[in-house]
Structure formats: C-alpha cells, structure tokens
Structure 1
C-alpha cells in the first residue's frame, strides 16, 4: 500500500474514533484515494460506507454518493454531520428553496459529500451542474440494483454508465452486500468497471445465530422467540402480504410488544412516522413486507424473523443482514412450512418470464429450500452460495448446536408419490394425506379412491409426519406444483429412480420447535457487561436517548451500542481517557465527551451487588 494509507488512518482516528481499518477496507481506501476505481463486495455491517467516506475527506472536491432511498441518505447525512463532516443530500423530499441552497453549497465547494438518487443523478440538468465543480469520487451504493439478475433491480441504475463517459478521470466505486457471480459480472459490465479491481470480503456474519424451524403456530412461535431471547430489543418481522403484517403486528401489540406496521399500502406519512419511531426509539419491532429494510442503517437491530419463505438466498441474506450491523450478538429465525413451498412453486409455474428466467428463478428457489432442509451447517451452505468456502461447521447455527436427526424415508416417500400418481395427479397435499391416512371423506368416497391400493397405507404415520414428507419431497424437487392456483401436485421426472427402487431417501426429522427455542441462549447485545455495571450501562443509554430526542436524531447517531459498551468496560475518568473509547472521534469528543463523562463519574445511579 502507498504512504496515503497512513493519512487515511489518521482521518479514521480523528473523525470516526477508530484506530485502524477492518478487513479489506484499507485496500479499498488506498485504491480510491489514489484515483483508482473499485468494485466492493462486503457484508452488511462490514463497513462499506468508510470505503468512500474516508477517501472523500482525503481528495479535493466533493464526493457524489448515489443511493436508492431517501431514508438511507438522510441517515447517512445525519451521522456525518454529527462527525463534523460537511454532508448533504438532494432528494424529492426537499422543496425548491432547500434544493437550491444545497446546490449553492456544492458550487461554493462547501460540501465533502453529496448524496442523491440514481434518477436525479442522470438528468441532463444534474450532469451539467456536476460538470461545473471538482468531483473527488463517485460512490454507487447498493450496486446490485443495476443487474436484472439481482433481487432488487432498478432500471434507473442502468443510466449510471454515463459517469464513466462524462467523468472519465473521476474514480468510481460500486458497493454491494449481496451479489452472486452473475450479478457481479453484470455490475462490472453495466457500470463500465470491467477493469476495476474487485475487493471481495467474507460474507460471514459470525455474530448472527441462524435458525430455521418448521412453522406450526407462527404467532405462538414468534412471541415465544421474542419473549425468551429479545424481550426489550429492536427487531424486524417479515411477512409476504400486507394483510399478514397487520394481523401479526396487532397480535404482538396484544401480547404487550411495541410493534408497528410497514408496507406499501400505508400512506407516505404513516410509513415515514413508523420508520422514524423505529429508528429513534429503543426496542421497537416493525412487522413489514420486503418494502422495508433497504437503507435502514440502524445498527442495534437484535433480531430478524421471517414468517414466510424469502424468494431467494440473496433476499434472505440481505434481510437477515439487517440484524446486528454493530457486530454484537443477534438472532435470525425463519418459520417455514409446506404452504411456503407450494406458494413459491405456484408463482414460478404461473410466471410469464422466459424459460431462461424460469430456470434461474428455479435455481434460486431450490437454493433457498436447500438451506431450509439441510442437515449440515447452515452457514457453510449459505456462504457456499456466495462462492465462499468455510472449512469447518460454524458452531453458531441451529443445525450445529442441535444436530438434525434423519430417518430412512424411502418407503413412505414412495407411498406419498404413489398417492399423487394413483389419484390422477389432480389434487393437492391435503387430499393425498387423506387417502394415505384412510380418511373416508366425502370427496374421497365420491372419487371412489377408497378402493385404491394406497388407501390407508399410511395410518402408521401422523398427519403432521405426512405433511413433513410432502414438504421435503417438494423441496427436493421430487414433486412439482401445477400453475392452476389450487396447489395440484404432479410427479417430477427426478422421482423416477426412487419409485423404481434404484435409490434410497433420507429425510429430516422435524424437531419440536418449542424445545428447540428453549435450548437456545438469548443473544443479548450487552452480554459482556458484568451485572454490577448494568446500572451504568442503562444510565449511559438514558443519556444517549435524551440527547438524541433533543436533537431529533436516532440514538445510534450519537453513539453505537458498541461504543457505550466500551465506555462501560473502560470507565474513563477524563476527556483524555474518553478519547481512547472506540467510536469517539474529535468532533464527538468535543460534542458529547463531557455529557457522558459526567454519567460515568456520577455515583447517583443505583449500584447493584
């Protein structure tokens, strides 16, 4: 690395209060600070923002950051202003007078960083404006949005190739947390970064505990999970439908949890109000569709729960990655059932996309189902999808902490397939289970299916066991769902060897979900704090909340939990000692040092022990 990295470390210490970079941050900063382009792939919480914010303060001119959401811009700018960095954003939320004032600051050279959306970035007026000022760099955040193979494609990103043409001498870096090989190639090609070095960091999030459980009674499972592991923590609960988010939020409120709803059907004012509460208050739970999340920079989200199956591993990784951005212990739980598999297969069968698109989507669904049904380490499988090898099981997922039992399901699986075939491949799972269980229902009798040889052959297994078998047969691609909208099952060509007795089949034994959750340990963010220091921890949080409320900013904009924990561990006795706390740069020391030092030196808060 060049000598400029020493200057970069000094900027990092002065502004952000950290002594050194993490992972590959230093390489990226060094490359961009010296005028080079870069394609940066780092996990959520890996510190992507520093990769362009530090060079922006090292290079002359204004850094232009392209960001897809207003909320993300607002959050980033609020954080930078607290650090003493001259930052602003241009968005549709500003009136004409406000926008003109920021443009004047840009022309005057009064801004270090300026954030804007891609649709504004590529307008002729904006490009003409930028041509009049020195630009230090272009940073394209959430760069996977440029790829039609990505899970968040946005057409406006395609126009960003103009930056390479109109500003050939300005360094450009594209950043994302989720991109498989195909999406990475698209980013490089479409943004004209083919010759840029790729900085690929580990996608592992070791602070996150992964858990996937069969969904029985989703609300009971969800409330039990929150109450046992995260009773006072902020979290996100994802559901596929708007109606379901409303039901789940209402049920959580009834159970005494501070839950809010977020989906595209709410008015803009309601969405903004709920998101603001989530960001600025402690312990709020948001029940949301996938419309919520991109651009949420809240570092102390302690859990993410899914009550429906995500559409891909990219989506799952990005959504779960919103937990524990500060690196402190966090939990993600997915409650998954038979209807999820059926619904996703129906959506795929009904798709009007090309055959290539359907094959690509099929691979994505199969990968997501494989993660759900695996009997091996979930983290190893998840990382493998992103082309990363983990040699040993992680020891920090439910499969590692509670190894999954398997059983020889060869004969029951053949029975299940036979029931589908013998009934004409015209019915869904519940009907096949009725036939196997020997239930003489009206529809079974009207079809004379009680006369089939397979009728009643499955009485030795429970209805729950048969549904588990069908779920896993669908997940393994041995059964398919028709596009008729009724969940009609048909045999997949891949089931032929099993039916012919050429192969055997091992399936998972579904765990008892209640005992599984009881055996897990709470992922408490402040687990490193001794009980005697709990009053100080709470007093520091209270001071942070008070200051945040007075300034109208989220508490984490003042200090992250990790910074408060370091204060508790070090218990500085002077401003000089306070300056050694991780996350306290010169601006924040001057702004908040006295206020937090007073809490530490104050003996009036209750002492435990």
Structure 2
C-alpha cells in the first residue's frame, strides 16, 4: 500500500516524498488503525487523510470547523482532479440534500462537513446510508475544553462514528495540542495513546521575533514599506484597533483590507476573497480571521497586540509560510496588552477553574514576550518538547545589538513615579518629567516636585516611549482599569538604590524579505491570469515554492516540468504549456540581451 500511496502523492499532488510523519499516519489509516496526528501548520496534515481517501473504498468524511476552509480544500482537490464536495450552511436546503444523495451514491471521495451538522438528526440518518471508510477530524484540538478553540459540537463525533454499520478508521489531526489536550483527544475519540504520531512543532522556515519598548506604529510602517508587495496578515486585539490600522495603511497607499465580527458577512467574505486572490497585499484582522483559510503564500504575520495564550499565537503566526518559504512572525509587544487580555478573561463567561487556567496561559504568553532565549525553543517547550535546541534564526538568536547604559534616565523616571505616589499614568509622568505647564500639573502642584522638568531636554513622546521600554522590561507595572497608573516593581528597587544598571538595546530595524527575480514575478502574473479565468485563488494553481523552483530550474519539456514540487499529471496537462512558454520567452530575451552586449565594441560599452 505504501507504493500505491507514493504513486497517488506524485500523480495528484506533485511530490516525490512524504514529509515527516505523513507516511506513518497514512500507513496506520490504510490498515484501519485510528490515529492522532500532531504536525505543525504547513506540515501537510491534509494529505494524511486525502491520500488514504483515494486508496480506500467508499468515502472519507472530513469534520472541518470553518466554511471557508472547506471551500478552499474542495477547490484545491477539484483542481487536482479529485471528486470532493462540502455540506454546510452556505448551501440551500435543496443543494445540501442533493449533495448528500450524491455522496450516498458514491460520487465523491471526500465530503467536508461542519461539526454543527452532527446536531441534525436527518443528517445523521443520511450518513448511515453512506459508505464511509475514513473519518478525518481536522483541528482536533477543538474537542478539548482545555484547547484554545473549544467547539462543543466536536463532542458529538464519537457518537456519530458509533452509528455507522461498519466502523470507519479515524484520523484526528491538529497543529496546536499541548500534552493535556492530546490526552483529551485520545480519551474523547477512544484512540489509544500508543496511536499518537507527533512530528514536532518546529517551523524552521519561520523567523519569530518580539519587538518591545519601541513605537509599534513606526516599526509597522517601516516594515510594510520594505515589504510592500508581499502578502501578509496583521492581527489586532479589538475591532477599533483593526479599523484604525486599516484606515492608516490605506492612507499610506497600501492595498489593505480588514476583517472582524463588526463587519457584515458579505464585507468579511469580500475581504477574505480579495486577500486570497492577491488583490489585497495586507489584511488587518481580529483573531476571528484565518483559521478557515488555506492561503499558502502569506509571507508575514504581525501581531500588533499580544494574544491571550501560546496556542492561539502559534496557530495565528503559523498562517505564514505554509508553502515552506521563509516568512516572518513578529509580535509587537506593549505592556497595555496584558491589561487588555486580563480584561477579556475577566469579562468571559468561563467558570473560575477555566479562568484560572487562562490566567496561567497568559503568564506563559507574557514570558514569551520577555524571554531573551530562543523564541522557537520557548514555544516548543510549551508544547511538551524536552530540551529543544536553539533555532539559530529567531530574533533573539540573531540579536547582535549593543546595549547602552540608560541607568540615569531610568532612575529619573522611577523616582518621578515614586514622588507621584504611584497615582498617575504614563502621560502625566511624562509631562512632569518634561516640565510641561499643564493645567492639571499646576492645579495639583506637581510642578513643585523635585523631579519636575528633570528630563526637559526630551520631548514628551520620547519620554513616553522610554516609559514603555521600562514597563516592557518589568521595571514598571500598570495597575487599574481604563486609566491605569504606573507602579514600581521589585526590579526597580535596586536601580533606584544604585545597585543595578539598566541596559537598553538599540531599536530593531525592519528587514526586507527575500526579493524574487524577474522570472518569478512573470510566473506570478501567469498564475494570476489563470486563477482569474478559473475563479480560484492563485496559490491553488501553484505555490510560491513551485514558482521559485521553476524560475531556478527553467523546465522546457513535460518530463522536467513534472519534476517540480507541486506539479502532478493533472496540473502538467492544465498549466504546463503556459508556464513553459513564459520561461522560454524569458530565456530567449536573456540570450538576445547577452548577445547584444557581446556585439558591442569595448568603446561602445
């Protein structure tokens, strides 16, 4: 069966070898063995059930959490010549019923359904008439209340499986499961612990970075200017912040869109589609966006605000570089984010046990933002990996910035906070230090303090940014609700006593992602034209990885084109000629240009 699986892999998906863990999971499922697969985003989880679906009799039923993800998957399968469909609330009652009848008749190899369908008795009865040989549970962490995205309907999956006259094999797949969540998946789906395949959580093509103590807007603008044509996602914690950032980016000339729950369904769908089709280069969104997209060429994910926990962060950041190309995952940390996330937890309807669990996860997220060790290793330890090696390519591993001694400035700020009896926020502290003639300062007689005006050589904005740095480095903390005040921490005491120094690294400068060559850009245009004709996202035609390999290898005949990763027989027949003609034209131009230069005399040159 393994040879047959390799043939299917090449014929339909255009790859010669399985990735780590894929072969083992596929072998288990083909032998009828229930299996849990924990693989990183972009690790090829979908192939783990798509390939068995083509080798097993009957139909594979895929439980998938979001409608848009189903459509993307079905479009990609259809593009590869594989009969698949989805049944969800986007269909009319008659269309859904028609597809169910067709599925029962064996028309499709894969049928995608939302977990909420399992609450409908008529749907369950219809399933019993289908010849289901495999049930794939995608985003399996949704079954656990300890996971970051619990969906109660997932708890109905085990009962559904028990209804089939002949028990199908079960594949439970996820990218973000802690050991506790993995135990829950096994227990609730009745899968032995010995049937868990973990390939590791590392994403070696992703560069993780935390920017703290810097102006987030300035850094963001600088980064986007340097990577204007690269597709990316910016996550913000609130709708208001999404709206502000999107408006600002549009004014600065970026092709930006937004996505959050405050928009109508049609507005959200339009933003998502324009991003998928590369008509938008950047999408600003709340965490409601992304779980249901399969876009493989997202080159960066920037978190403008800190998420609540590592699982949510890793899943959102993991939407970058699904095609294996180098991509950035940047978190712009601000101390206010901690207060915001605590507010979200406090306002939630969770019981006290779950709230305490969320506070514990938040502390680990805060730890990630402050660690000076390897960022990827920190994440891997969180997911249960023992003693991971430093990645040697994250922001911390590559940090060579020199440290400047800012102890004197820090003492001035900390002393001012103490003189103000920890009763004021950042803005007022900055005004006192800058010597502002503010009405409130005069009213409260703060201009009589010894610290009044001791930093008048700096602007209030610069002082405010320095206060952000001290807060990010935990010399100061914020307390209170909507208008937080600054308070000293245990770390600030030895600084005030002159027993400890404060060192500040220089600002992190935004870097440019890899620049593609001219042929790659031409192939992208061909891809987009074909995508527009077929009404599918460009990455479904070919990934950026495939285009990069084409521009390096320069295939000129069918046999060479089939050697490119991601090119199967179906795609060769559909698209091979268009891409090879573009490559041939480019080569001819290069040869003509080279010949023209060689024909020039030394004087002409």
Q: TM-score range by the shorter chain?
A: 0.7 to 0.9
Count of aligned pairs between the two proteins: 590
| Structure 1 counterpart SS, 2:354 | helix
Out of 571, 578, 581, the residue aligned to residue 588 of structure 1 is 571
Identify the residue that residue 109 of structure 1 maps to in structure 2: 106
SS of the residue corresponding to residue 284 of structure 2 reads strand
Q: Distance in 2 between matches of 1:157 and 1:562?
A: 34
Counterpart position of 1:201: 199
1:169 aligned residue: 167
Give the whole-Å Cα distance in 1 for the aligned partners of 2:576 and 2:388.
44
**Matches for 1:310-321 after TM superposition, within 5 Å:** 310-321=307-318
Question: 2:367 aligned with 1:370, yes or no?
Answer: yes
| Equivalent position of 1:568 in the other structure | 551
Give 1:470 deviation, angstroms: 6.5
The answer to whether 1:512 aligns with 2:517 is no
Structure 1 pair 383–224 and aligned structure 2 pair: CA distance change class (3 A): same
What SS class does the counterpart of residue 332 from structure 1 fall into? strand
Q: Displacement of 1:134 after TM fit? A: 1.5
**In 2 relative to 1, CA 25–96 (structure 1 residues): closer, same or farther, beyond 3 Å?**
same
**CA separation in 1, counterparts of 2:483 and 2:531?**
52
Supply the RMSD in Å over aligned alpha carbons: 3.3
Residue of structure 1 in register with 2:27 after alignment: 30
1:507/1:375 Cα in 2 relative to 1: closer, same or farther (>3 Å)?
Answer: farther
Structure 1: gaps spanning 5 or more residues: none
> What secondary structure sits across from 1:60 in the alignment?
coil
For 1:6-17, what aligned pairs fall within 5 Å after superposition?
6-17=3-14
Following superposition, the deviation at residue 604 of structure 1 comes to 8.6
Partner-residue secondary structure (3-state), 2:356: helix
Contact 1:279-1:554 within 8 A present in 2 as well: yes
TM-score using structure 2 length: 0.87
Q: For the Cα contact (< 8 Å) 1:66–1:121, is it kept in 2?
A: no
The one-character-per-residue Cα deviations of 1:145-176 (angstroms, maximum 9, x if unpaired) are: 22222222222222223134334721112111
**In the alignment, which residue of structure 1 is the partner of 2:153?**
156
CA distance, structure 2, for counterparts of residue 117 and residue 334 of structure 1? 32
1:388 aligns with 385
Q: Residue 393 of structure 1: CA displacement?
A: 3.0
Partner of 2:209 in structure 1?
211
SS in 2 for 1:53: helix
1:522 corresponding residue in structure 2: 513
User: CA–CA distance in 1 between the matches of 2:466 and 2:363?
Assistant: 17
1:240 pairs with one of 212, 237, 242: 237
- Which of 267, 271, 276 is the matching residue for 1:270? 267
SS of the aligned residue for 1:138 comes to: strand
Contact (CA 8 Å) 2:104, 2:131: kept in 1 or not? Answer: no
Which residue number in structure 1 is paired with residue 186 of structure 2? 188
Corresponding position of 2:303: 306
1:340: how far off?
A: 2.2
Alpha-carbon distance in structure 2 between the residues aligned to 1:508 and 1:588: 56
Structure 1: how far apart are the matches of 2:191 and 2:293? Answer: 27
Deviation at 1:452, TM superposition (A): 7.4
Displacement after TM superposition at 1:560 (Å): 1.2
Which of 218, 221, 224 matches 1:223? Answer: 221
Name the structure 2 match of 1:97.
Answer: 94
Give distance in 2, aligned partners of 1:352 and 1:414. Answer: 42
Do 2:476 and 2:487's aligned partners in 1 also have CA atoms closer than 8 Å? no
Aligned pairs for 1:113-152 within 5 A: 113-152=110-149
Mean CA deviation greater in 122-131 or 430-439: 430-439
How far, CA to CA, are the matches of 1:479 and 1:220 in structure 2? 23
SS at match of 2:52: helix
Partner of residue 46, structure 1: 43
Q: 8 Å contact 1:330–1:523 — kept in the other structure?
A: no
> Are 2:12 and 2:569, in contact at CA under 8 Å, matched by a contact in 1?
yes
Distance 1:356 1:417 in 2: 37
* Structure 1 residue 301, shift from structure 2 partner: 0.9
Map 1:467-478 to 2 at 5 A. Answer: 468=466, 476=474
8 Å Cα contact 1:143-1:176 kept in structure 2: yes
State how far apart, in whole Å, the 1-side matches of 2:333 and 2:10 are. 45
Q: Residues 457 and 600 from structure 1, CA distance in 2 versus in 1: closer, same or farther, beyond 3 angstroms? A: closer
Residue 185 of structure 1 and its aligned partner are, at CA, apart by 2.4
Q: Measure, in 2, the Cα distance between the counterparts of 1:236 and 1:286.
A: 5
Q: For the Cα contact (< 8 Å) 2:390–2:397, is it kept in 1?
A: yes
Match of 2:540 among 557, 567, 572: 557
TM-score, normalisation: structure 1: 0.86
Q: CA contact under 8 A between 1:306 and 1:335: conserved in structure 2?
A: yes
Q: For 1:294, which of 269, 287, 291 is the aligned residue? A: 291
Distance 1:500 1:255 in 2: 42
Q: Is the aligned partner of 1:57 residue 2:54?
A: yes
Cα distance change of structure 1 residues 457 and 373 upon mapping to structure 2, 3 Å threshold:
farther
| C-alpha distance after superposition, 1:402-427 (max 9, x if no partner) | 23556889998898777667755544
Q: Deviations over 1:436-485 (max 9, x none)?
A: 77778655665566777888898999975676566655775984623x43
1:373 is displaced (CA, Å) by 2.1
CA distance in 1, matches of 2:182, 2:189: 11
Distance 1:462 1:602, change over 3 A: closer
The separation in 2 between residues aligned to 1:357 and 1:404, in whole angstroms, is 40
